[in-house]
């Protein structure tokens, strides 16, 4: 096999965000990701989980965050001008309304399969991704976007939004019984993302204000008071729960530096949508990103999964998504208020991603690597998601910090 094309000019005086070679690489990788995941659509309108070669993995349930992220990702693909994106968006929107939506109790079910409901838990994490999908679909002009947006917004208002602290509650049974007092950062972080998308889609200030309140708690208060590491787990009184350890994928103990990187980018997106006020948001975003990179970049490359509360490595596993989010965060810092070290980090991140995570034979990204830096499947089966890595390939190519779907459609 011939060597793949370069990812950017070696000229240190040419920033990669404006480098034609790098920009061509970004578009090529995005298109190859969209090509890889397109066959996940089944004839019956469901989505298969794909193995490394792109073949369906039998028996896998369809989870809410996967369906919603597929809609969002192919809205980005539609904005790129892909003719095959509509079928993916249509299928995802229909599946959300007809399969994930709980017609009996309201809200959206976590997992379904051919037999029906696989897991009826109602997680805030899943509901806010429905809001993201609905908002992205509205930006794409989908005819079912408004009903989905109205429905999930009402669900979030009724069950999850806690007005006094300005934060989201976490989890219920299918019939809306609270089964824990857990409160978490992850669902709230993705709540920021979804509310910003909803503001972009509707112009309704409530969404922007709620996103700002969540950011204020986790960044201005919690991260700033914890050496710019973000505590993940809380009690129902919103006190840090330092001993909590839950699902090892979604709620591991300690802190998760990849989430700090996501929050850094979302902080800048909110700041941009709010009119770029002189409120210190770019500086806070930089603190988050630089702390996460300093703590979590492994000597052999990649970003470790978790840290203890003092910043020492807890889980050294290296996944694709923190590197993807670091790329987006550093690119956003370069666009907002660049410093000389940003270009070095941006190139380092992409060089590692290209070497360790991008599958140059089949397309898409491997989700995890072993201690030797080779692809492995310990935590993930197949290639479970396009969302993080697609955004890493597309968002740096844009000039803006927000309204990405609109800019992609405008520039195609």
Active site residues: 259, 388
Q: Are 281 and 207 a contacting pair, CB within 8 Å? A: no
Strand-pairing partners, residue 319, are: 368
- The residue written with tokens 């599946």 in the block is 95
Q: How far apart are CA 112 and CA 93, in angstroms?
A: 15
Q: How far apart are CA 145 and CA 373, in angstroms?
A: 41
Torsion of CA 306, 308, 314, 319, to 10 degrees: 10
Backbone angles phi, psi at 404, to 5 degrees: -65, -40
Alpha carbon separation from 370 to 52, 359, 378 (Å, rounded): 15, 15, 9
Indicate the helix (H) or strand (E) that contains 391: helix 387-394
Q: How far apart are CA 164 and CA 404, in angstroms?
A: 32
- Determine the Cα angle at 366 with ends 380 and 36, to 5°: 105
Neighbour tally for 11: CB within 10 Å? 10
* Nearby residues of 252 by Cβ (< 8 Å), 6 or more positions away: 232, 245, 246, 305, 306, 314, 315
Q: How far apart are CA 318 and CA 356, in angstroms?
A: 10
Neighbour tally for 97: CB within 10 Å? 16
3-state secondary structure of 32: helix
Alpha carbon separation from 196 to 49, 83, 128, 251 (Å, rounded): 28, 27, 11, 24
3-state secondary structure of 290: helix
Q: Are 366 and 360 a contacting pair, CB within 8 Å? A: no
* Nearby residues of 179 by Cβ (< 8 Å), 6 or more positions away: 171, 172, 173
Q: Which of 220, 249, 228 is nearest to 310 (CA)?
A: 228
């Amino acid at each position: 096999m011939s060597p793949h094309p370069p990812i950017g000019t070696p000229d240190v005086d040419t920033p990669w965000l404006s480098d034609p070679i790098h920009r061509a690489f970004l578009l090529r990788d995005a298109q190859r990701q969209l090509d890889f995941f397109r066959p996940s659509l089944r004839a019956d309108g469901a989505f298969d989980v794909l193995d490394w070669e792109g073949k369906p993995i039998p028996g896998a349930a369809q989870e809410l965050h996967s369906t919603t992220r597929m809609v969002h990702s192919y809205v980005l693909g539609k904005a790129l001008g892909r003719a095959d994106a509509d079928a993916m968006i249509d299928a995802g929107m229909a599946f959300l309304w007809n399969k994930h939506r709980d017609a009996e109790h309201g809200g959206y079910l976590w997992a379904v399969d051919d037999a029906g409901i696989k897991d009826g838990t109602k997680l805030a994490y899943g509901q806010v991704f429905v809001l993201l999908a609905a908002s992205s679909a509205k930006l794409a002009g989908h005819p079912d976007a408004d009903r989905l947006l109205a429905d999930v917004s009402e669900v979030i208002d009724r069950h999850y939004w806690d007005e006094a602290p300005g934060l989201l509650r976490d989890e219920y049974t299918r019939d809306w019984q609270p089964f824990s007092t857990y409160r978490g950062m992850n669902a709230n972080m993705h709540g920021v993302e979804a509310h910003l998308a909803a503001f972009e889609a509707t112009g309704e200030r409530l969404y922007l204000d709620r996103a700002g309140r969540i950011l204020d708690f986790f960044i201005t208060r919690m991260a700033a008071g914890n050496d710019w590491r973000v505590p993940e787990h809380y009690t129902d009184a919103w006190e840090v729960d330092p001993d909590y350890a839950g699902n090892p994928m979604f709620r591991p103990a300690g802190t998760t530096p990849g989430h700090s990187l996501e929050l850094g980018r979302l902080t800048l997106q909110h700041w941009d949508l709010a009119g770029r006020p002189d409120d210190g948001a770019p500086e806070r975003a930089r603190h988050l990103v630089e702390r996460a990179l300093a703590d979590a970049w492994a000597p052999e490359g990649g970003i470790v999964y978790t840290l203890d509360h003092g910043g020492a490595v807890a889980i050294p596993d290296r996944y694709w998504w923190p590197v993807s989010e670091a790329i987006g965060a550093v690119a956003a810092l370069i666009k907002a208020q660049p410093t000389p070290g940003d270009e070095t980090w941006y190139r380092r991140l992409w060089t590692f991603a290209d070497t360790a995570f991008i599958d140059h034979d089949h397309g898409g990204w491997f989700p995890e690597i072993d201690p030797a830096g080779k692809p492995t499947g310990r935590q993930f089966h197949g290639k479970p998601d396009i969302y993080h890595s697609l955004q890493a390939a597309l968002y740096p190519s844009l000039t803006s910090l927000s309204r990405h779907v609109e800019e992609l459609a405008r520039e195609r």
